[in-house]
Structure 1
Amino acid sequence: MDFRAFPTLTELDERLPVYLVSVGHWDHQEPTYRANGHPDYQWLQTVSGRGKLQSGDREWTILPGQGFCLYPHEPHAYFALEENWDVYWISFRGSLASPLLQRTGLAGTGVYHVTEPERIASLIGEIYKTTQSSKDYGGIDYSQLLYTLLLELMKTTAPGSQAAEWGYARLRPVLQYMERHYDRPVTIKELADYIAVTPQYLCQLFKRALHMRPMEYMNRERINRSKELMFQEGGIRLYEVAERVGFESASYYSSVFKRLEGMSPDQFKRIHGLK
C-alpha cells in the first residue's frame, strides 16, 4: 500500500537538530529525475525489486534489502529495473543531519548495504504512523524516531559490496568474547582468530563500526568493569582492581583510567563517596 505524509513544520521544529520533512512508501517506485537534486537529505530503503541510481558520473544497481542515501542539491536519477520496486523513503533536515550521517558512515550520495533492512523499513513505517496520530508534540516525536532510525543505520549499513562483513553484526561475537575475557590479557590475534579474520582486517572492522581500535575498546570495557568493582567492593585496593580487570600493573591501569575518564581512579572514588 502506498502512503506519504508531509507534516506541517513550525519554527520550533526547524530548530531541532534533525527534523522530519516527509515520509512514505511506494509499492512501485516511479522513475525520478532531479537535475538540481533534492533540497533535503533522503534515505530510501528497498524491500523488493531492483533499481538503479545515477549521480554525477557514478551509477549503482540497487538490490533488494539495500538502501540509498541522497544528499541535498546533488543531481541524481533513480528508476526501477523490475516491474515492482518496493521502496520506503524519508526526508529530513537539521543542523545535525550531516554530522549524524557522516558518523553513521553515510558519507555521501550512494548505495549502502543494510544488514537488517526489515528493521529500517519498519522504523520508517512507524514514523509515518506517528504523523497520523501524534499532534501535540508532533515535531519532537518525529525527531526522536528519526534519531533512532539514524542510530539504527549506524549499526547496520555499509558501503560497497561487503554487507555481512561490516557493522556491529560482524563484530558482535568479538565484543561478547571481550566481555567474557576482560579479566585476562587478550591479543588482537586471539580476537581475530575467534571470527576467522586477520588482525589487520579486524582493525578495519573496528574502525568502520566503532571508530576505534580493538584494544582501545577492550580498555574501555575494563575501565567500566573497574568502576563497577569499586562500587561493589568499597574497600578494594587499586592494585587489586587493576589485576581483576586484566591490567598488567596498577600504574598502567591508572594512566588508562585518567586518559579515558579525565580523572584518576582515586578522584573517581572521592566524587562518588567511595572509600
Structure 2
Amino acid sequence: MKETGYLPLVTDFAKTLPFYVATIGTSTEKTIWRPKGIGDHQLLFTVEGSGHGIVEGKECMFKKGDIFYLPPNHPHDYSPALPAWKTAWMTFSGTAVKDVVPNKGGVYRGGEKMKEWFDALCVLPKNETWQEISSVLLYRFLLRLRVSSFSEGGTSVNEAAKKLSGAVAFMEENSSRPLTLGEIAKAALVSEGQLCRLFRLAYSMRPMEFLHMLRIRRAKQMLSEKRHVPVGTVGKLSGFDSPAYFGYLFRKHEGMTPGEYRRLY
C-alpha cells in the first residue's frame, strides 16, 4: 500500500460546515502515544496487519477491517502488533459531527467497505472545491458507518432496526388504540428494557415517542384527506384519548395546530 497524506486548507468557511476533513491519508503505523489526544475526531481503518492499544481504559486489538474511532482530546496510545500495520486514517470535525458519531472511543467491526468510501475522498481533485465536495462525501461516509458499523453493545443501527421490525409493524397496525410497553416488547420478542435500548439506538427516541410520531402521521393524513371529520375526532381516531394532549403533541411536532395544518394542506 502506497503511503499518502493530504492536509487540506481549513478555512474559516470550512469550519462553518456541518462536516469537514482536517487530514486524510494512509500509512504504516508506528507506536503513538498522545496523553491529551488531538483536537479533532479521528478514524483509523486497518487495511493490513494488526495493532493494539488502549481505548477507554481497555486494551484492544485492531484487526483487518476494524474501525478505530476516537473523539477529540481523548487520551490514547497504540502500536503495531505485527511489523506492518497499515491503515487508512482521517481526522475531521464540523458543527454536526457529534450527531452521527459515538459518544466515546471504540473499536468497531464490519468496516470492510470503509476503504472504498475512503478512497472516494482521496481521489477528489485537490482544488478550491475540495472542502465543499469532501464535506458532502464525509457526511455520507459517517452516516454509512453510523448505520452499518458504529454500535452499542455490539448492535449496529441497522441491526437494531431489523430487531424492531416486528414491533414497528405492530405499532403501525394498532396505533389507533391504547398500547402498553409490554405489548410492544412482546411483538419484538424482547424485554421492555431491551426494547427501549433498541429504540434509542435505531431511532434516538423512546418507544412511546415513536408511537406518538406514528399517531401524528396518521392524524396528518386524516386532516388532509378527510376534511369533513372534526379535528377532535381525528385525534381520537389517531389514538389520542385527550384532545388537549393531541393538540399539544401536534404543535410540538409540526409547529402548528391541527386546524392550521388542515387549512394549509
- Compute the TM-score of the two structures, normalised by the length of structure 1: 0.77
**Structure 1 residues 79 and 203, CA, compared in 2 at 3 Å: closer, same or farther?**
same
Q: Tell me which amino acid in the other structure corresponds to 2:154.
A: A
Would you say 1:122 and 2:116 are equivalent positions? yes
Give the superposition deviation at 1:18.
2.9
Specify whether residues 148 and 238 from structure 1 end up closer, same or farther in structure 2 by C-alpha distance, changes over 3 A only. Answer: same
- After TM superposition, give the deviation of residue 20 of structure 1 in Å: 0.9
Q: Secondary structure of 2:29's match?
A: coil
SS at match of 1:235: coil
Q: Residues 75 and 188 (structure 1 numbering): CA distance in 2 closer, same or farther, change over 3 Å? A: closer
**What is the CA–CA distance in structure 1 between the aligned matches of 2:158 and 2:247, rounded to whole Å?**
29
1:197 offset after TM fit, Å?
A: 1.4
Matches within 5 A, 1:233-244: 233-244=226-237
Does the Cα contact within 8 Å between 2:46 and 2:86 map onto a contact in 1? Answer: yes
Q: In 2, distance between residues paired with 1:86 and 1:179?
A: 48
Task: Report the secondary structure of 2:213's partner residue.
Answer: helix
Task: Tell me the CA shift for residue 266 of structure 1.
Answer: 1.1
Q: How has the CA–CA distance of structure 1 residues 69 and 265 changed in structure 2, closer, same or farther, with 3 Å as cutoff?
A: same
Aligned pairs (5 A) from 1:257-268: 257-268=250-261
Are 2:39 and 1:34 aligned?
A: no
Pairwise CA distance, 1:250: 4.2
Match of 2:138 among 146, 162, 165: 146
Q: Which runs of 5+ in 1 are unaligned?
A: none
Report the residue type matching 2:13 in the other structure: L
Residue 163 of structure 1: how far off its partner (Å): 1.8
Alignment of 1:178-217 (within 5 A): 178-217=171-210
With normalisation by structure 2, the TM-score equals 0.79
**Which residues of 2 match residues 245-256 of structure 1 at below 5 A?**
245-248=238-241, 250-256=243-249
Alpha-carbon distance change, 46 to 248 in structure 1, aligned in 2, over 3 angstroms = farther
Matched residue SS, 1:59: strand
Q: 1:177: how far off? A: 4.5
SS in 2 for 1:117: coil
What amino acid maps onto 2:60 in structure 1?
A: W
C-alpha change, 1:126 and 1:184, in structure 2 (3 Å) is farther
Identity %: 28
**1:124 partner letter:** F
Matches within 5 A, 1:1-275: 1-2=1-2, 3-26=4-27, 29-35=28-34, 37-46=37-46, 49-54=49-54, 57-82=57-82, 85=85, 87-94=87-94, 96=95, 100-101=97-98, 103-104=99-100, 106-108=102-104, 110-114=105-109, 116-130=110-124, 133=125, 135-156=127-148, 157-159=150-152, 162-164=153-155, 166-172=156-162, 173=165, 174-248=167-241, 250-270=243-263, 272=264, 274=265
The answer for unaligned runs of 5 or more in structure 2 is none
Structure 1 residues 170-229: Cα deviation after superposition (integer angstroms, max 9, x where no partner) = 134144543454344443223322332101111122234433210111111221232133
Displacement of 1:265 in angstroms is 0.8
Shift in alpha-carbon separation, 1:186–1:65, aligned structure 2, 3 A:
farther
Native 8 Å contact 1:66 1:111 kept in 2: no
Provide the C-alpha distance between the structure 2 equivalents of 1:206 and 1:25, rounded to a whole number of angstroms: 36
